[in-house]
Amino acid sequence: MPLSRRVRSISPSSTLAITAMAKRMQAEGIDVISFAGGEPEFDTPEHVKAAGIRAVRDGFTKYTAPAGIEELRDAVVAKLKRDNGLEYTQDEVVTCSGSKQALYNLAMVFFDKRDEVIIPAPYWVSYPEQVRLADATPVFAPTREEEGFRLKRGDLERVLTRRTKAVILNSPCNPTGAVIELDELKAIAELAVEKDFYLVSDEAYEALTYDGVKHVSIASLGEEVKARTFVVGSTSKTYAMTGWRLGYAAGPKEIIKAMIDLQSHSTSAPASPSQKAAVAALLGPRETVESMRREFEKRRRYLLERLHGIPGVRCVPPEGAFYAFPNVSAFYGKKVARGRKISSSTDLTAYLIQEARVTVVPGADFGSDKHVRISYCLGMEQIRDGLERMAKALEQLK
């Protein structure tokens, strides 16, 4: 049966596919350690769960306004002021079923045929697909490993054209963990104003930064840049709420209104109990956020130490999110069984599953075939065992 032209060129999310494969293997009783996941394994905080349960008990289980309840939009406004120093009004905010949907809706209402959208690389897997689904053209702006994959103004200037409609920023970045430096953030903000393009700032990992690095929202750098920025946020990573599906976008109200209108014809509002839970998350106590961040910081330190100890593996220290993105290209050209050679991040991923029963995600899916993505969303013991297995399998490669 013929598919629509629109979806013919998209591929399914590889991270979700690999995570599903690991879960399937685990269900079959195979001892797999998955470094592929993109979600904190911590439980949703109790007060957040209680708010969701209360909503269900109180019968708060019906449709709401497509943009989300006023209480939640106000909570997002309050959060953006408290954490990011940003002033928005309720009509400049829409809540969505996850920030992925917020990004998708934004792409649908804002990008068009002939528009170019710059995506710094390595990038999160869904950006190019969403841009293509909107009939626009993704243009990649490579960053450099030697510079910790931190985006610089010059990286954008190199690929900027008269057709550039927007740049998608993701700091902290999935998959590299890179956080854009404040001076560069300022320079990028100036460039956006000067060259008249828009910014989509995906801040899903804003709460997870390490070694004293602080997240700054580019929209907070002045009124001119704020007027051309869409800030996209999520409850998923900050509050371990991935399955509740609650994200949001804030920005110029004509575009936010179009996103709400689009949403009213597609998914409608996010699930009502999730909205109540998100209010509790955004306005409630912050201790769980900090204790989760501290735990990730500990794991990150351990992971980096162990990775540096594996001959052939190089890894720039990620400054945020919960991923490491080691360079594994030293293993390319090495032989595996039956004379076959490893020649890509996909080959190496397959080898690690077979040989070590460890899953990672090939860097090729994020725009860099020399790397693999390792998530540290699993307990210390599993991290230790998984790395041991990985090190052993890699050391066998000759």
Ligand X SMILES: Cc1ncc(COP(=O)(O)O)c(C=O)c1O
Contacts with ligand X, residue ranges (CB under 6 A): 38, 98-100, 124, 170, 174, 202, 204, 234, 236, 242, 247
Residue whose token pair is 């390595």:
122
Q: Tokens representing 245? A: 């599906």
Pick between residue 233 and residue 284 the one whose CB is nearest to ligand X: 233
* Between 103 and 221, CB nearer to ligand X: 103
Q: Which is nearer to ligand X, 64 or 130 (CB)?
A: 130
Contact 126, 13 (CB under 8 A): yes
Nearer to ligand X, 168 or 313 (CB): 168
∠ CA(189), CA(195), CA(199), 5° rounding? Answer: 45
d(CA 169, CA 147): 17
Strands (E), the chain: 33-34, 93-96, 116-121, 137-142, 164-170, 198-202, 229-234, 247-250, 323-324, 358-359, 361-362, 372-375
* 116 closest CA partner among 13, 198, 174: 198
In angstroms, what is the minimal distance from the CB of 201 to ligand X? Answer: 11
Q: Which is nearer to ligand X, 247 or 362 (CB)?
A: 247
Pick from 327, 344, 345, 349: nearest CA to 144:
327
Minimum CB–partner distance for residue 233 and ligand X (Å): 8
Least distance in angstroms from the C-beta of 100 to ligand X: 3
Supply the minimum distance, in Å, between the C-beta of residue 156 and ligand X: 18
Of all residues in this chain, which one has the CB nearest to ligand X in the complex?
A: 98
Residue 315 DSSP class: -
Q: How far apart are CB 105 and ligand X at their closest, in Å?
A: 12
